[in-house]
Structure 1
Amino acid sequence: MMHERIALMKRIQEVEFAATDLQLYLDTHPQDQRALMQFNQYAAELMMLKQQYELAYGPLLNFGFSQSQYPWRWIETPWPWEEEF
């Protein structure tokens, strides 16, 4: 179970990195339609991965950015930044 959680978190980080990199590129190349399509694909995948993670392991973000199931799950597992990879 822990291996799947770590693998999913790693994939989230990879996709988030790619989306951020493309976002920075698009800031200087706003007419690059191919890059925009790639950005949108990564953004959609990232949303799906985060939803999948939160359903299985609890919220990734605090302060109202992530919903929680009942009971309150934020304190059940290590926080995302406490993960050991």
Structure 2
Amino acid sequence: MISLVAQERLLGFALGSGLVGAAVLEQRRAIHRSMTPQSPPAGSVEPVRRRRPDDIEMAHIWNRAVDRALAPLIAALSSRGW
């Protein structure tokens, strides 16, 4: 049988991975919800196409979202001198 310490570590890893995965998924959904589709010019008959952000723009949006999500953790670690 696997030791109790190893079981606790595996459980912690599984729960942590699930929590981080859920947080990342929610951040990605929030980013995609925040992007509004381009509105067509008045009288246009073309279907509305969503503009895909450039890679650099998407990277900036992602970095801001991660900074906002992890700001409390960074502040707590910084206050302890890590």
Larger Rg: 2
TM range (shorter): 0.3 to 0.5
Q: TM-score, with normalisation over the residues of structure 1?
A: 0.38
Q: TM-score, with normalisation over the residues of structure 2?
A: 0.39
